[in-house]
């Protein structure tokens, strides 16, 4: 059976590229491993701070969904971003504005979320976080908010535009998530 290595991606010479079907059969694929360009990549367990921030985000997205009466929110849901070579990764939190059935492949959505949150964790290399951000933005996520608990700030990615929000600022869903707004400080409460 295929196994993930301790650090990062498996060397190109160690194994052939892993297909989406092979990755779907891995017994530990739900325990913090991604598939990036056909290579299995470990993701470390996250800190309590990371989990608390993700919990706050989940609550905010749930409240937004309740107000709208539609939409789907998820935490740490894998997304099929590419097939050849296969890439399955996902943000810490995602939101799809409509309730239509998401197209799935091996249980993972194949359509990008309208909005996503990725939370920086001190235990994960920043280069891995930024690789995931780049993949998600290129996949077509409408707005991606990169939350940094250590800086108490958020970087917003809307297409090629990047904007930074400080703890006293408010995030606004704009035309991607109409009516969604939250204080940056609420993410860290």
Q: Any idea what the CATH number is for the domain that residue 81 is in? A: 3.90.1570.10
The rounded radius of gyration (Å) of the Cα atoms in the chain is 16
- Decide if 177 is inside a domain: yes
| Domains in the chain, number | 1
CA–CA dist 13, 33 (Å, integer): 20
- Decide if 97 is inside a domain: yes
- Decide if 31 is inside a domain: no
- Decide if 32 is inside a domain: no
- Decide if 162 is inside a domain: yes
- Decide if 172 is inside a domain: yes
Global pTM reads 0.87
Average pLDDT of each block of 10 consecutive residues along the chain (189 residues)? 41 72 83 87 87 97 95 93 95 90 91 97 92 97 98 96 98 97 97
Say what the pLDDT of residue 123 is.
87
Say what the pLDDT of residue 14 is.
55
- Decide if 61 is inside a domain: yes
Say what the pLDDT of residue 143 is.
98
| DSSP 8-state class, residue 186 | H
- Decide if 58 is inside a domain: yes
Summarised one tens digit per residue, pLDDT across range 86-109 is 999 999 999 999 877 789 999 999
Say what the pLDDT of residue 98 is.
87
Say what the pLDDT of residue 31 is.
66
CA–CA dist 145, 120 (Å, integer): 11
| DSSP 8-state class, residue 71 | -
Where do we find the tokens 């937004």?
64
Say what the pLDDT of residue 1 is.
35
The domain of 63 spans 48-187
Scored b (16 or more CB within 10 A) or e, 14-42 reads eeeebebebbbebeebeeebbbbbbbbbb
Say what the pLDDT of residue 12 is.
46
């Amino acid at each position: 059976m295929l196994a993930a290595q301790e650090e990062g991606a498996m060397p190109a010479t160690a194994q052939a590229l892993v297909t989406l079907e092979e990755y779907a059969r891995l017994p530990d694929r739900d325990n913090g491993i991604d598939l990036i360009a056909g290579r299995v990549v470990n993701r470390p367990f996250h800190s309590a701070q990371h989990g608390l921030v993700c919990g706050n985000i989940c609550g905010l997205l749930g409240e937004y969904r309740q107000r709208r009466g539609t939409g789907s929110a998820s935490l740490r849901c894998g997304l099929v971003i590419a097939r050849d070579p296969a890439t399955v990764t996902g943000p810490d939190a995602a939101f799809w504005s409509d309730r239509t059935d998401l197209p799935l492949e091996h249980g993972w959505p194949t359509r990008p979320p309208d909005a996503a949150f990725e939370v920086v964790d001190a235990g994960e290399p920043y280069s891995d976080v930024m690789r995931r951000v780049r993949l998600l933005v290129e996949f077509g996520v409408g707005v991606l908010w990169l939350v940094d608990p250590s800086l108490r700030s958020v970087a917003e990615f809307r297409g090629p535009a990047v904007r930074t929000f400080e703890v006293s600022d408010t995030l606004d869903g704009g035309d991607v998530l109409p009516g969604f707004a939250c204080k940056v400080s609420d993410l860290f409460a």
